Amino acid sequence: GEEVAQTPKHLVRGEGQKAKLYCAPIKGHSYVFWYQQVLKNEFKFLISFQNENVFDETGMPKERFSAKCLPNSPCSLEIQATKLEDSAVYFCASSRSYEQYFGPGTRLTVT
Amino acid sequence: AQSVTQLDSHVSVSEGTPVLLRCNYSSSYSPSLFWYVQHPNKGLQLLLKYTSAATLVKGINGFEAEFKKSETSFHLTKPSAHMSDAAEYFCVVTLAGGTSYGKLTFGQGTILTVHP
């Protein structure tokens, strides 16, 4: 497609539950990025992929966060045992070169 | 290492007057710079980009920005504000290559308010 698609729009989880977010990049884009937006305007880089390979995972809290981009499937970001501090909007972006195109985001609320 | 500082957290203008949103960057290597806009409860939309070509960059909706290496600045301007420009604007930097390719570093954001 011509837009980055993210599902679901909203996700509510009790503390300790698992959360799984999905991202379909723009067709033809080989790079996928995940960002976390907390406190309304602070963006944090989590992980990037080049096709199905992890390119840069320096931002991932590895003990609870994992991500995959498999061929012919949406990319996914999974949080095991969510914590209150994981409440944020998670954005996915895709790119072919320098500029990244963002999806509408998934708002995760951990209660 | 790279960083971005947006010098104003809030800017308020009247409709029809010029807009100036200020951004300074720090980067060890040749950076690529972007401005994104985020309307309430929406995703990020790319306004314009600088990737080492022309230093004056024109974007969508009448916005433009000038890359000034000597001042390490990339300020966003628009000659005449419109009510629909009210949103939050992010200045963003990334390195041109290497293992940090594509990893965006965001400024703190500037909220633009446009008064009738």
Report the residue of chain A nearest B9, measured CA to CA. A41
Please report residues of B whose CB lies closer than 8 A to that of A55: 99, 101-102
Residue B79, preceding peptide bond in cis (omega within 30° of 0): no
Residue B35 C-alpha, separation from nearest chain A C-alpha, in angstroms: 10
pLDDT at A1 over 80: no
Q: How high is the mean pLDDT in each 10-residue block of chain B (116 residues)?
A: 90 98 87 91 89 87 94 96 96 72 86 96
pLDDT for res B96: 57
Contact B106, B6 (CB under 8 A): no
What does the pLDDT average to over A23-32? Answer: 94
pLDDT at position A92: 96
- Give the closest residue to B23 by CA, choosing from B113, B116, B115, B105: B105
Q: Tell me the torsion sign for CA atoms A22, B111, B48, B105.
A: negative
Cβ distance B105 to A45 less than 8 Å, yes or no, reads: yes
Q: How far is CA A110 from CA A12, A15, A38, A74, B88, in A?
A: 6, 6, 13, 23, 25
Residue A74 has pLDDT above 80, yes or no: yes
Name chain A contacts of B104, Cβ cutoff 8 Å. 33, 35, 43, 45, 93, 100
- Burial (CB count within 10 angstroms: exposed 0-12, middle 13-18, buried 19+), residue A72: exposed
- A39-57: average pLDDT: 88
Enumerate the residues of chain A whose CB falls inside 8 A of the CB of residue B91.
none
Cβ separation of A102 and B36 shorter than 8 Å?
A: yes
- Are A84 and A16 in contact by the 8 Å Cβ rule? The answer is no
When pLDDT is averaged across residues A26-51 and rounded to a whole number, the result is 90
pLDDT score, position B97: 57
Tokens read off for B33:
């710079």
CA–CA distance, A35 with A43 (Å, rounded to integer) = 6
Query: What is the DSSP secondary-structure string of A54-73?
Result: EEE-TT--TTTEEEE--TTS
Q: How far apart are CA B10 and CA B99, in angstroms?
A: 34
CB B97 within 8 A of CB B8: no
The encoded tokens of residue B80 equal: 């005449």
